[in-house]
Structure 1
Amino acid sequence: MRILIANDDGYLAPGIAALVEACKGLGQIDVFAPERNASGTSNALSLHQPLSLHTAANGFRYVSGTPSDCVHLALTSGLIPKPDLVLSGINNGANMGDDTLYSGTVAAATEGYLFGVPSIAFSLTDKGWQHLDVAARVARQVVEHVLAQEPASRPWLLNVNIPASAQADQAPWAITRLGRRHASFPAVPQANPRGDLFYWIGPAGEAKEDGEGTDFHAVRAGQVSITPLQVDMTDHKRMPAWQGWVATR
């Protein structure tokens, strides 16, 4: 077993150290993580500048790029053998609903999935790393169980959100769908000391679709939310309507 671990909070983040520690004994572990925090970078690849790669004292490799860059480099550079599993996280904060479109944590796992490697993204639902040790135990449990009994043909992609609770390792698991959020709050203008105006992206919107079966609902109920993801963004439901529209041309 060979496991590639990445994240979006950077190679110095407590979450990736906890995930690596939790996975010890499962196989050979390789770490490729961003040099600095790359939250919100989604699936971006750095196409207009080269990537530098360095090795930290603890053996983690860190890359001057995005989470997707890290996994892409690991899988295409020949620096390591192809892994059997890609893990991303543990993220400092939830990645639920629409968040998954922007999440660098989910993007790193998605990059592995695109290369045909089973992949899992792990997130701790509250920021601040509270109960990170418990979340790491949950991550280990999920990895062990999915390796012992894979429910679907490879590759597969899971998005796991773990409640920030001292009892999370005893919590039930729920297979969920992505909820939805309201639109983000407005951008926040701010002037620098020279009077130049710039803007901060506003906070994410509140949960909009958070009923039973969604990731929001599961986490609110104290459950570990496990959402199977796919990359196909085709609007299959509306395909017939668009086909009819073309036919009227």
Structure 2
Amino acid sequence: MRTYLALTTAAATLLAAGATAYAVTPAHPGPAAKPLAGLRVLISNDDSMQAAKASNSDGLGLYELRRAMCAAGADVVVMAPWQVQSGKGTAVTNGGVVTAQRRTALPAGYEDDCSAAPSQGAVFGVCLAAGPCGKDTPSATPADTVKLALRGGLRAKVGWKEAPDLVLTGINSGPNVSASVNDSGTVGAAVAAVDQGVPALAFSSSGDESNTFFPRENYRAHAEFGARLVAGLRARSLLTPEFALKVDYPDVSTGQRARPAVWTRVGDGAVVYHAFEQRGTSDSFDIALGLCPFDGTGEGECAEGRKDADSTWLLDKGHVTVAPITWDRTYGTPVEARRTLKRIEQYVEHDAPRP
């Protein structure tokens, strides 16, 4: 990671005739360096880069995250799925052609967020096509976009000759907790990054009470918290590729404040589950999503057995939750970066920014 040193001018002393000392007024200091200045950040998600739906479920959180990171001084490039890819997990495309198409007309209100950054916050949508991406063109998966970016896409499109310093995914429309983590394309994209040796964080925000609308207020609060969280990790040299961090934010759209960040584990129950209903006696089944109760009364697959579960602390108690995610699925494999893991846990529990 690059280290930047800010040089300050010390006050000088002018000795006048007769040995009388006069203090010279120090030069006015320049503006304080932004906390993420010089940090090169790739952003992806699984909600796409469209941000066109009234529900705010198709990428608005990505633009809030881009906004906050650029405001903190980062140089940001977005490579995200062309279409919504929610639930794709770590899926990849094994053949064919992908196109990374730059978006020139950004969503209203986000056009100038990164205008001062070297890469100007360039936004690319990645589709499965040999030509231009159209309205109905199939999309690359979240993991595809990260792999493309790290394996030549960033070099070709924006001239980054080295890997970014950090990959951020999200902000997802809806929390990714408990069993949903395995399905999450937002988490899957972060896993793809650490698999390539690049530090990564995956951000997901709660929706409103209906869980069908995702307020801008939630995305903005999460993005601004996320920028400060990343700044704290960076200042402590805790941006590590050994594992990803999953950061979920509660609903604050009705005016309540999020409670402080808590270090958690992924829960062993479900919050959302897949339901299948047969169509009469045919071979076809309708797929639907079932929603478990959030009040701790769930049974069967909805039952949560861990006291430090992300779902409990996020949905029941209203805290920001942070959990480490590893790419290594071998059961019982110890985390090699245990010292770093402990330091990040202590930072989250004791020194993380207040929501």
TM above 0.5: yes
Question: Which residue in 2 is equivalent to 1:67?
Answer: 142
Question: Which residue in 2 is equivalent to 1:2?
Answer: 40
Question: Which residue in 1 is equivalent to 2:247?
Answer: 160
Question: Which residue in 2 is equivalent to 1:16?
Answer: 62
Name the SS for the 2:247 alignment partner.
Answer: strand
The one-letter code of the counterpart of 2:277 is V
Shift of 1:148: 1.5
TM, length-normalised to structure 1: 0.85
Q: Assess, with a 3 A threshold, how the Cα gap between structure 1 residues 142 and 168 changes in structure 2: closer, same or farther.
A: farther
Written as runs of structure 1 = structure 2, the 5 A alignment for 1:91-240 is 91-126=172-207, 127=211, 128-130=213-215, 131=217, 132-151=219-238, 153-166=240-253, 171-182=259-270, 184-189=273-278, 197-203=284-290, 207-209=302-304, 211-219=306-314, 220-236=316-332
Are 1:135 and 1:168, in contact at CA under 8 Å, matched by a contact in 2? no
Name the SS for the 1:94 alignment partner.
Answer: coil
Shift of 1:45: 0.9
Q: Assess, with a 3 A threshold, how the Cα gap between structure 1 residues 224 and 6 changes in structure 2: closer, same or farther.
A: same
The one-letter code of the counterpart of 2:327 is V
Q: Assess, with a 3 A threshold, how the Cα gap between structure 1 residues 124 and 46 changes in structure 2: closer, same or farther.
A: same
Q: Assess, with a 3 A threshold, how the Cα gap between structure 1 residues 143 and 151 changes in structure 2: closer, same or farther.
A: closer
Q: 2:166 aligns with which of 85, 89, 104?
A: 85
CA deviation vs aligned residue, 1:54-78 (integer Å, no higher than 9, x gap): 0001431010100000000000013
Q: Assess, with a 3 A threshold, how the Cα gap between structure 1 residues 190 and 48 changes in structure 2: closer, same or farther.
A: farther
Larger radius of gyration: 2
Question: Which residue in 2 is equivalent to 1:244?
Answer: none
Alpha-carbon distance in structure 1 between the residues aligned to 2:68 and 2:97: 32
Name the SS for the 1:174 alignment partner.
Answer: strand
Shift of 1:119: 0.2
Q: 1:34 aligns with which of 75, 81, 88?
A: 81
Name the SS for the 1:61 alignment partner.
Answer: strand
Shift of 1:202: 3.6
Alpha-carbon distance in structure 2 between the residues aligned to 1:218 and 1:20: 27
Alpha-carbon distance in structure 2 between the residues aligned to 1:169 and 1:123: 17
For structure 2, the 5+ residue unaligned runs are: 1-38, 51-58, 107-121, 128-139, 293-297, 334-355
Are 2:89 and 2:183, in contact at CA under 8 Å, matched by a contact in 1? yes
Percent sequence identity over aligned pairs: 27
Shift of 1:170: 5.5
Alpha-carbon distance in structure 1 between the residues aligned to 2:179 and 2:143: 18
Question: Which residue in 2 is equivalent to 1:246?
Answer: none
Shift of 1:125: 1.9
Shift of 1:185: 4.8
Alpha-carbon distance in structure 2 between the residues aligned to 1:120 and 1:147: 12
Shift of 1:147: 1.2
Aligned length, in residue pairs: 234
Name the SS for the 1:181 alignment partner.
Answer: coil
Alpha-carbon distance in structure 1 between the residues aligned to 2:258 and 2:275: 39
Question: Which residue in 2 is equivalent to 1:45?
Answer: 92
Alpha-carbon distance in structure 2 between the residues aligned to 1:152 and 1:85: 8
What RMSD, in angstroms, separates the aligned Cα atoms of the two structures? 2.4
